[in-house]
Amino acid sequence: MKHPRKTSALLCTLLCWVLALPAIAHDTLRVACIGNSVTYGYGHRNPSRTSYPTRLAQMLGEGYRVRNFGHSGATLLRHGHRPYIQQQAWRDALTFAPHKAIIHLGLNDTDPRNWPNYRDEFVPDYLALIDSLRHANPQVEVYVCRMTPIFHGHARFQSGTRDWHAQIQHAIEEVAYLSGAHLIDLHAPLYHRPDLFADALHPDPEGATILARTVYRALTGDHGGLSLPAIYSSHMVIQRHKPFVLRGTANAGSSITARLGRERLRTTAAEDGSWQVTFKPLDTSPESLTLTVTDGHTTLTLTDLLVGEVWLCSGQSNMAFMLRQSAEAQQHIAAAPTKNIRIYDMRPRVYTDAVAWDSASLAALNRLDYFVPTQWQALDEHNASQFSAIAYHFGRMLADSLGVPVGLICNAVGGAPIESYTSRHTLEYHPTLVDILTDWRHNDRIQPWVRSRASQNIQLSTHPLQRHPYEPCYLYESGIAPLAGFPLRGVIWYQGESNAHNVELFETQFPALVSSWRHAWADDTLPFHFVQLSSIARPSWPHFRDAQRRLAQQIPHCHMAVSSDLGDSLDVHPRHKRPIGERLARIALHHDYGYSRLTPSGPAIKHAERKGSGLILTFDHADGLTSADGNALRTFEIAGDHGLYYPADKVIVKGNTITLQSRQVKRPTRARYGWQPYTHANLANSDGLPASTFVIEVND
């Protein structure tokens, strides 16, 4: 006979087990977060409260059981220096038998001990890991993650990590395809946030929250419903003669219907919430259009849309310079109101004046929240007065000449260096420019004035990685990336004052900028027209202006407007902006709209040849070579083999040529013109357009 106490205990145990069966069978969804130190929450004071799996659990709420199986230093590679499959965390994950498995591995495989030796094993090893999860629970849904960023501050960034990280990202995408797993992109949401990575590798708690939100959206399909980027709004101008790409986000799987005019398109939101439709190219219409987008629950309606020409106007303070600040401001403002010109004015939240910013502004900057939310507007006296003077006059001349609506997007920030408008990817992968990312406020590649002003603005910040508009990549990430892909006709650009200290570096930076923007718009021929620096008493500027001239010749679909005749010896902001805007418009009309009879620029030096003791200079756009002010032509200089320049004693104009001679130079080998920081150069053509500063050698 069994002991009654033992029998009772056995029955109780059995009863408890039986009662527990329904709970096991109908358990909440088990979510396993599998990964390395990023998953674990390395660097957090309390990972159990701030790691991304913990934040994910809070977002998912009841009905989910989330476990953190992160192990610091783990590699996906089984031959790596610390294979994840050999860790207790992996064994625990298999025992957990998850319904949903989020895998974020690969960062430690960038170690030189791993990827160079075993890269061919990465995809098979990853597939084997997924198979093990499916064996533990055949119903498991597997999500593989593109890795979080590794930033330039990482010790091995340039010695291999940057390139191996990119290669592993591609391998992860291949794994997702081969295994049928879902793919979550953990890279894109954090790539513009280096301030969240104190060691360039591990996101802080705020970064973990962004990761959790990204995973939450992937698991639930909840992307916040139907929305459009801010650049799409009522009163906007649609670029004519180009496919009109409309993109947005919606909950995963949502059926999207978009109607523009008579065309109606349908698509389905992808797992990451993104969707896109492309309308056929439109011609100008006498009537405004309406755009409607719906997902069946929410309908967005944009009204009063015009079809015409759209230009992005960017740069630093001379592009930002307002119409009300310019010469003859009241006259131009009074003439401004028109429904045919629409503006999208991206004004900074705080200006880069010589002040310290408050904590709220500093926090907003770190979130890339630098530009005040705006929308498209028809031009009136009020908004025109505060809009870019150069952009206004450019758009006015285009609208008058073409007879079509013109849309002007202005994104310009006073003092901004060119590197702040260049994409991170461009700088990271450029053999020279990658170094400009390092410790930027103490980096000699960046103009001292720029670094000093930035330090002054953020002096009240306690964040060691506080961001600033002058930081490399910042204005691209906060202002240009949100516009990327919106159909444009071209770009006008006025910038360089904050890079004139290093002409040679700028000769690398400017082509990189143009290339990065053309890549963002997937258009290698996107017109990019810019203003040459004006005249002012700054010694490096003649060299800089000549470098800009040469860059315009070297970069396809890129042209330059001269402004040196309108400079101010003491003020970096000349007030006469109308001629500059109209010179840019002439360039666009000639090169982009087929106005071949319209002279696009002033006399442009073509070549030089020696004849006896003289130099013959030949110019393009040289009809009616003359003096702009009626005085003798001046500032021409010639030099011999010794390289010493002397003023030309004789300047003889004949057709499209100018012959120079100097009693002090018997065998001239080169010539230059307008080679003074603040120049009184006066060569022009019959259209009154000035010649550029230049230096040229003889073509023997």
* Distance of alpha carbon 589 from alpha carbon 18, whole angstroms: 83
* Distance of alpha carbon 639 from alpha carbon 93, whole angstroms: 78
Length of the chain: 700
Shared domain for 583 and 486, answered yes or no, is yes
- Enter the pTM of the model: 0.94
Shared domain for 561 and 430, answered yes or no, is yes
| Burial status of residue 515 (CB atoms within 10 A of its CB: 0-12, 13-18, 19 or more) | middle
Contact 311, 394 (CB under 8 A): yes
pLDDT at 284: 85
Shared domain for 484 and 564, answered yes or no, is yes
Domain enclosing residue 22, as ranges: 18-220
Shared domain for 660 and 562, answered yes or no, is no
pLDDT at 395: 98
Instruction: Please check whether residue 372 lies inside any domain of the structure.
Output: no
Nearest to 604 by CA among 594, 590, 630, 507: 590
Instruction: Please check whether residue 621 lies inside any domain of the structure.
Output: yes
Q: Which residue among 160, 185, 220 closes a domain?
A: 220
Shared domain for 649 and 538, answered yes or no, is no
**What b-and-e string marks burial along 414-444, b requiring 16 or more CB atoms within 10 Å of the CB?**
bbbbbbbbbbbebbbebeebbebbeebeeee
Helix (H) or strand (E) holding 480: none
pLDDT at 286: 80
The conformational region for residue 392 under phi > 0 = left, psi -120 to 50 = alpha, else beta, is alpha
Strands 299-315 and 289-294, sheet pairing? antiparallel
Instruction: Please check whether residue 659 lies inside any domain of the structure.
Output: yes
Residue 438 amino acid letter: T
Task: Please give the backbone phi and psi of residue 497, each rounded to the nearest 5 degrees, phi first.
Answer: -55, -35
Q: Which residue among 202, 220, 238 closes a domain?
A: 220
Contact 473, 459 (CB under 8 A): no
Q: What would the two tokens of residue 329 be?
A: 């401001």
Residue 599 amino acid letter: T
Nearest to 601 by CA among 586, 588, 589, 591: 586
Q: Count Cβ atoms below 10 Å from residue 82 Cβ, excluding itself.
A: 17
Q: What would the two tokens of residue 5 be?
A: 């106490």
Instruction: Please check whether residue 387 lies inside any domain of the structure.
Output: yes
Shared domain for 588 and 623, answered yes or no, is no
Shared domain for 584 and 642, answered yes or no, is no
Q: Which residue among 550, 567, 592 closes a domain?
A: 592
Q: Which residue reads 């192990």 in tokens?
A: 71
* Distance of alpha carbon 193 from alpha carbon 660, whole angstroms: 56
Strands 406-412 and 377-379, sheet pairing? unpaired
Give the domain CATH number at 113.
3.40.50.1110
> Following CA atoms 448, 451, 455, 461 in sequence, which dihedral angle do they give, to the nearest 10 degrees?
-160
Instruction: Please check whether residue 579 lies inside any domain of the structure.
Output: yes
Shared domain for 622 and 691, answered yes or no, is yes
Task: Please give the backbone phi and psi of residue 658, each rounded to the nearest 5 degrees, phi first.
Answer: -135, 125
Instruction: Please check whether residue 340 lies inside any domain of the structure.
Output: no
Task: Please give the backbone phi and psi of residue 686, each rounded to the nearest 5 degrees, phi first.
Answer: -65, -15
Shared domain for 660 and 524, answered yes or no, is no
Count of structural domains within the chain: 3
Shared domain for 613 and 524, answered yes or no, is no
Shared domain for 635 and 519, answered yes or no, is no
Instruction: Please check whether residue 277 lies inside any domain of the structure.
Output: no
Instruction: Please check whether residue 33 lies inside any domain of the structure.
Output: yes
Shared domain for 417 and 563, answered yes or no, is yes
In 353-474, beta strands by DSSP E: 377-379, 406-412
Mean pLDDT per 10-residue section of the chain, whose length is 700 residues: 41 34 58 98 97 98 97 98 98 98 98 98 98 97 98 96 98 98 98 98 98 98 98 98 97 98 96 98 90 98 98 98 96 93 97 97 98 97 97 98 97 98 98 97 97 98 97 98 97 98 98 98 98 96 98 98 95 96 98 97 97 96 96 97 95 97 96 98 97 93
* Distance of alpha carbon 576 from alpha carbon 326, whole angstroms: 6
Give the domain CATH number at 656.
2.60.40
